[in-house]
Amino acid sequence: MKAEIKGGNFPVAICEMASGEAINCESGAMSWLNGGIKMETNTGGGLGKMLGRAFSGESLFMNRYVAEAPGTLALGAHAPGEIRKISLTPDKPIVVQKGSFLAMDEGVDLSIFFQKKIGSGIFGGEGFIMNKLSGSGDVLLEIDGGAVEYELAAGETMTIDTGYLVMCDASVSIDIVMIKGVGNILFGGEGLFNTVVTGPGRVVLQTQPLTQFVGTIAEMMAKIKK
């Protein structure tokens, strides 16, 4: 995928497509296009895939853009932040949180990923069902705010506030732990649970989860109304 990211904090990925090239993307991602590019809306692999995306927070249908002749396809982010292109190989699948998938090459497969522990599903902000991207090709991900990347060694852990984990290698394990101490829970302002990731593998965090940003704005608006 030949994509150039423009737009600063309000990013768009401008993809130059050769004849015969195809890109699968999230419904509603297209900002503009020109040349011989045609759109096809489909289930992205059948009913099972469609329902899996619904469970993981993505749209039911996917759009497939095919270049019948060379052209340009621009894919925009849904919120201020970054768009990051990641190249996948068959031995290096990744796991991403709901809402972060934007587009992928034809050689990439999007499937659902179940966290190992039920507690992660009930309490974790990243959710019990996430997205797994595997295969060969490029992937475009949306990141709220900015991106900070770490490479964890085997057994190395990192504690993350809910909503900040956007992507990790499939080799990284994910768990949810309760914050210790009654005082910390009641007055710490960090909620009840944190996400703990354990290496080996890459972890990408986002600096301003959209849900938290919207919550802050809503809280400020409520105070203004009073």
Least confident of 4-8, 32-36, 172-176: 172-176
Q: Confirm if 1 and 85 have CB atoms less than 8 A apart.
A: yes
Beta-carbon contacts of residue 158 (< 8 Å; ≥ 6 apart): 150, 152, 196, 197, 203
Domain-wise residue ranges, the chain = 3-225
CA distance 169 to 147: 15
Q: Confirm if 60 and 53 have CB atoms less than 8 A apart.
A: yes
Beta-carbon contacts of residue 208 (< 8 Å; ≥ 6 apart): 80, 81, 144, 145, 146
Report the pLDDT value the prediction gives residue 186, as an integer from 0 to 100: 47
CA distance 175 to 199: 12
Q: Are strands 193-198 and 129-135 parallel, antiparallel or unpaired?
A: unpaired
Segment 171-190, tens digit of pLDDT = 999 887 776 654 444 444 45
CA distance 20 to 175: 42
Report the pLDDT value the prediction gives residue 56, as an integer from 0 to 100: 52
Segment 40-69, tens digit of pLDDT = 987 666 555 656 555 555 566 789 999 999
CA distance 111 to 184: 37
How many CB atoms are located within 10 Å of the residue 94 CB?
23
- CA proximity to 90, closest of 35, 30, 137, 139: 137
CATH assignment, 3-225:
3.60.160.10
Least confident of 24-28, 125-129, 210-214: 125-129
- Report the chain's mean pLDDT, rounded to a whole number: 84
Both structure tokens of 53: 């995306």
